[in-house]
């Protein structure tokens, strides 16, 4: 493990090191068992200013019929145990594909532990969920269906039974995949939903027109100052990257900002001990959304790697003004509060990411940075196909 990981640990925290080392070894083993997704990709033009080509697995090519089928599956509430929840329940197209809740509500109004991130531009992530526990959109789409606080199905067979009993679905699956009703499997459902989600992309914001379209009038003076701060003093560019020809505002990495970490820090040693003792029982999707302790471990619950303790995935900043509340736990209600968090150097804890430190922003600089973040809003967002 890296020496720098523990550069800020006080004497009380040194007791964690052995347990983290044990869990690190467990994490290495679990990652080997999980393997790496080696699916080959092809790329199709996004056709949108500011966005790169869209990656598509060669084993799941796009088609209009498949996207239309995926959209129907995405919106079907029958794929929940009480008939109240679909993918669109937490990722609402009319609300920039979020639900505006601190943490999402599933069946029977049950709540989990994490905020629902937007699906907008999720196609560009190399891993899915706040902790990156799935490699692609296909894999991600299957987990919420079985989670007891989301869709609450007893198995994927519950969904397949609904599909097979619906003549419109069986006809569409025949057309898209060339299979009869008896051959429909959950992987076909996942492929269709993922194909739809690959069309949920947005760019062409005022920032894009200024940066990539060379329209000098696209941004206000305040937003331009905010862009300069973003690239310099505010250090946003370090993680929410802007490229030379496009910007997806992510680094595909995980960082500990200290948000929510105080919930587990007093009993972290006990939590790590339990994890070490249950090394043959990897952290499940169900546990992450029903056990606050497991949830706050962040990426560490997936990898067991010390530098991932309390770390969560860098989210995109596109349309950030539309997707409140913020952070993995939805604890920050406004962009002003997010800026204040970064300005004070995150929430202090022994595992704070090394790049997080106080910024010393003035009131005017915070206002300018806010103006820039608002300039990342697209004039038109994708909607459900008709």
Contact between residue 305 and residue 351 where contact means Cβ atoms under 8 Å apart: no
Q: Is 156 marked as binding a ligand? A: no
> Which CATH code of 3.40.50.10260, 2.60.40.180, 1.10.3720.10, 1.10.760.10 fits the domain covering 206-375?
1.10.760.10
For position 280, what pLDDT does the model report?
56
Give the residue ranges of the chain where pLDDT is below 70. 1-38, 279-283
For position 152, what pLDDT does the model report?
97
**Superfamily of the domain at 64-199:** Cytochrome c-like domain (1.10.760.10)
Q: Which helix (H) or strand (E) holds 339?
A: helix 335-343
Query: pLDDT, tens digit, for every residue of 227-239?
Result: 999 999 999 999 9
Q: Is 28 marked as binding a ligand? A: no
Query: pLDDT, tens digit, for every residue of 249-270?
Result: 999 999 999 999 999 999 999 9
Burial classification of residue 319, based on how many CB atoms lie within 10 Å of its CB (0-12 exposed, 13-18 middle, 19 or more buried): buried
What residues does CATH 1.10.760.10 cover in the chain?
64-199, 206-375
At 15 the three-state DSSP class reads helix
For position 36, what pLDDT does the model report?
41
Task: Write out the two tokens for 271.
Answer: 């939590």
Q: For residues 201 and 259, give the distance between their C-alpha atoms in angstroms, rounded to a whole number.
A: 28
Average pLDDT, the chain: 91
**Spatial CB neighbours of 66, under 8 Å, sequence gap ≥ 6:** 176, 191, 192, 195, 196
For position 279, what pLDDT does the model report?
63
Q: Is 25 marked as binding a ligand? A: no
DSSP code string of 182-229: GG--HHHHHHHHHHHHTT------HHHHHHTS--TTSS-HHHHHHHHH
Q: Is 90 marked as binding a ligand? A: yes
Q: Is the pTM of this model over 0.85?
A: yes
For position 385, what pLDDT does the model report?
85
Q: For residues 55 and 53, give the distance between their C-alpha atoms in angstroms, rounded to a whole number.
A: 6
Q: Is 239 marked as binding a ligand? A: yes
Contact between residue 140 and residue 129 where contact means Cβ atoms under 8 Å apart: yes
Q: For residues 152 and 83, give the distance between their C-alpha atoms in angstroms, rounded to a whole number.
A: 10
Q: Is 236 marked as binding a ligand? A: yes
pLDDT exceeding 70 applies to what percent of the chain?
89
Q: For residues 126 and 124, give the distance between their C-alpha atoms in angstroms, rounded to a whole number.
A: 6
């Amino acid at each position: 493990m890296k020496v720098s990981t523990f550069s800020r640990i006080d004497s009380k925290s040194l007791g964690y090191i052995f347990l983290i080392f044990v869990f690190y070894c467990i994490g290495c083993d679990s990652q080997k068992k999980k393997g790496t997704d080696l699916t080959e990709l092809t790329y199709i033009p996004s056709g949108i200013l500011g966005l790169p080509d869209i990656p598509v697995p060669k084993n799941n090519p796009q088609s209009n019929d498949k996207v239309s089928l995926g959209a129907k599956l995405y919106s079907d509430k029958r794929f929940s145990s009480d008939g109240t929840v679909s993918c669109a329940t937490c990722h609402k197209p009319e609300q920039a594909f979020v639900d505006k809740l601190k943490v999402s509500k599933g069946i029977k109004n049950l709540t989990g532990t994490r905020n629902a991130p937007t699906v907008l531009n999720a196609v560009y992530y190399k891993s899915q969920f706040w902790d990156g526990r799935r490699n692609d959109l296909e894999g991600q789409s299957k987990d919420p269906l079985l989670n007891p606080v989301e869709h609450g199905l007893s198995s994927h067979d519950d969904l397949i039974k609904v599909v097979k009993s619906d003549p419109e679905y069986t006809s569409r699956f025949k057309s898209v995949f060339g299979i009869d009703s008896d051959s429909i499997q959950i992987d076909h459902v996942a492929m269709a939903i993922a194909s739809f989600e690959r069309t949920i992309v947005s760019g062409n914001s005022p920032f894009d027109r200024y940066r990539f379209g060379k329209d000098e009038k696209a941004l206000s003076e305040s937003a331009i100052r905010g862009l300069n701060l973003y690239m310099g003093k505010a250090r946003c560019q370090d993680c929410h990257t802007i490229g030379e020809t496009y910007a997806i505002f992510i680094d595909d990495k995980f960082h500990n900002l200290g948000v929510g970490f105080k919930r587990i820090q007093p009993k972290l040693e006990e939590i790590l001990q339990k994890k070490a003792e249950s090394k043959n029982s990897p952290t499940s999707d169900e546990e992450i959304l029903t056990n606050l302790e497991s949830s706050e471990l962040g990426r560490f619950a997936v990898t067991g790697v010390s530098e991932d303790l309390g770390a969560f995935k860098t989210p995109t900043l596109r349309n950030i003004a539309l997707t409140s509340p913020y952070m993995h736990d939805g604890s920050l209600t406004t962009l002003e509060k997010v800026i204040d968090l970064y300005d004070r150097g995150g929430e202090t804890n022994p595992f704070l990411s090394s790049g997080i430190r106080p910024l010393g922003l003035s009131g005017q600089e915070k206002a300018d940075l806010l103006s820039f973040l608002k300039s990342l809003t697209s004039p038109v967002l994708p909607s459900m196909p008709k």
